[in-house]
Amino acid sequence: MTAHPRVLISDALSPAAVQIFKDRGVIVDFQPDLGKDKDKLAAIIGDYDGLAIRSATKVTPKILQNAKNLKVIGRAGIGVDNVDIPAATGKGIIVMNTPFGNSITTAEHAITLMLALARQIPAADLSTQAGKWEKNRFMGVEITGKTLGIIGAGNIGSIVADRALGLRMRVIAYDPFLSPERAMDIGVEKVELDELFRRADFITLHTPLTDKTRNIVDARAMAAMKKGVRIVNCARGGLVDETALRAALDSGQVAGAAFDVFSTEPANENPLFGHPNVICTPHLGASTSEAQENVALQVADQMSDYLLRGAISNAVNFPSITAEEAPRLKSFITLAEKLGSFAGQLTETGIEKVTITYEGAVAQMKVKALTSAALAGLLRPMLQDVNVVSAPVVAKERGIVIEEITREGECDYESLITVTVTTQRQTRSVSGTVFADGRPRIVNIKGIRMDAEFGPSMIYITNLDKPGFIGTFSGTLGEAGINIATFHVGRDAPGGNAVALIEIDGELPEAVLEKVRALPQVQQAKPLRF
């Protein structure tokens, strides 16, 4: 990675985060108002390796186009909707967020809103301060013994469950990804959505907004709920149909609602506004000084780790790699990319399937990162601008089937990676390993054993194993004044099919290549570059 990487901070980030960058040897340019000036940001972004943002900066394709050196974008917070992820991925830029820095703050806000709703705190405060003393108007409900239905029992949802259990509530949860063991661990009863609607006295949402969760609480859902239910949403606007909720509040089916998030933000108007049984806050879920500090420190650490050590955590577009794994993985990422490149340079027709087999010690490493590298090498000869970050997406878009096989048992090498490419016409495979010197090498081509390092300029030849081939080939190159650096050969049986991998100094002119192809034993000759 870069010796003294440069990071631009374009939103207000805590001074302690700036200090973390500086302490780790990262050069920081702190311009907290730059996020508002798109043109200026686009003009200077080319100088930086990293960009740290909150929600004000919008990272658009126009800005990314100028980001010639950018390697990482770090968002202090969970939502990355202000970053064009596909465009960043296409350019090989890692996009990180800090999904856990504000979990407690958001969970506490949900509990606060639930308690405020149960006792009508905001309306009672307003009335009392106006000198009305309406003791009989504000009849609340107790929390103890009531059933809380949690939709989404991930990180924040499970903290809410813990706090609710402390308040002596019964907690039921709907979450398709919640295992029965995890439900027991966090003390909740796992239920289906319709049962949650039927049983809950309070409902709180803690799920991301996706096509599946949009309007998960709609008119039909509200009709199925217990009469007098109270609904809290501190997650994302759009999870609840606000117009349908207003109607349910008017009819008394829903006794109250407390919302921190709205389908349109900033919310200058909303169907819920003005209803006496509604409490609204302006997206304060993560707004505590502790949470802002946490996410800022976390993003500074994560970005520094990546720029200085190659460690990747909480990336939304690439597998995680620890600082311990990074150095060891580096050689294997190079190997995977070169094996992919070898196969890609020899593949002329459409690729249908790629199988990558990991054997020995490498099978216990982060194979997702290695697969991404192999795919990048494979696709680059055909699609120049593909990279390790974008390759899996590009392969998927082209309908290529990707299969990973891991075998941790014994193999001939301590670690072995095999890339097998299936096209309409044939299946071709190449294997490689990394020896103790950290240098990747090819050890098997099409089932024929050999041992060759990857050179910048090479020639790959398939030929019949007959005497005289090496002499005539070397002579042809010698006459053209081309120096051979290394010469590796292998064969499946005496007199059978043979392969040769030759490293040469400099490029191979087309005219010389044609002469090599015309040699009697040669079936195929292909120049390769690594």
Structure tokens that stand for 156 in this block: 């924040």
A 10 A CB-CB count for 13 gives 25
- Which one of 265, 324, 408, 479 is the catalytic residue? 265
Inter-helix orientation angle 289-309/15-23, to 10°: 20
Distances (CA, A) of 318 to 94, 122, 274, 419: 7, 44, 45, 20
Pairing status of strand 415-423 against strand 427-434: antiparallel
Inter-helix orientation angle 103-118/121-129, to 10°: 60
A 10 A CB-CB count for 206 gives 28
Distances (CA, A) of 85 to 88, 253, 314, 316, 390: 5, 41, 14, 8, 10
Structure tokens that stand for 528 in this block: 């390769």
Q: Are 27 and 7 in contact (CB under 8 A)?
A: yes
Structure tokens that stand for 295 in this block: 């996410």
Burial class (CB in 10 A: 0-12, 13-18, 19+), 457: middle
Burial class (CB in 10 A: 0-12, 13-18, 19+), 290: exposed
Q: How far apart are CA 97 and CA 155, in angstroms?
A: 15
Q: Are 448 and 498 in contact (CB under 8 A)?
A: yes
The residues, ordered by sequence, that sit 6+ positions from 454 with a Cβ below 8 Å of its Cβ are 338, 342, 440, 441, 442, 530
Q: Are 317 and 86 in contact (CB under 8 A)?
A: no
Distances (CA, A) of 377 to 123, 191, 500: 63, 46, 21
A 10 A CB-CB count for 520 gives 10
Please indicate whether residue 109 is annotated as part of the active site: no
The residues, ordered by sequence, that sit 6+ positions from 7 with a Cβ below 8 Å of its Cβ are 21, 26, 27, 28, 29, 48, 49, 50, 51, 52, 303, 307
- Which one of 230, 283, 380, 441 is the catalytic residue? 283
Q: Are 112 and 121 in contact (CB under 8 A)?
A: no
The three state secondary structure string of 401-431 is EEEEEEECCCCCCCEEEEEEEEECCCEEEEE
- Which one of 236, 246, 380, 441 is the catalytic residue? 236
Q: What count of Cα atoms within 13 Å lies in the side-chain half-sphere of residue 414?
A: 7
- Omega before residue 276 within 30° of 0, cis: no
Q: What is the helix (H) or strand (E) element at residue 202, kind and residue range?
A: strand 202-205
Please indicate whether residue 236 is annotated as part of the active site: yes
Tell me the catalytic residues: 236, 265, 283
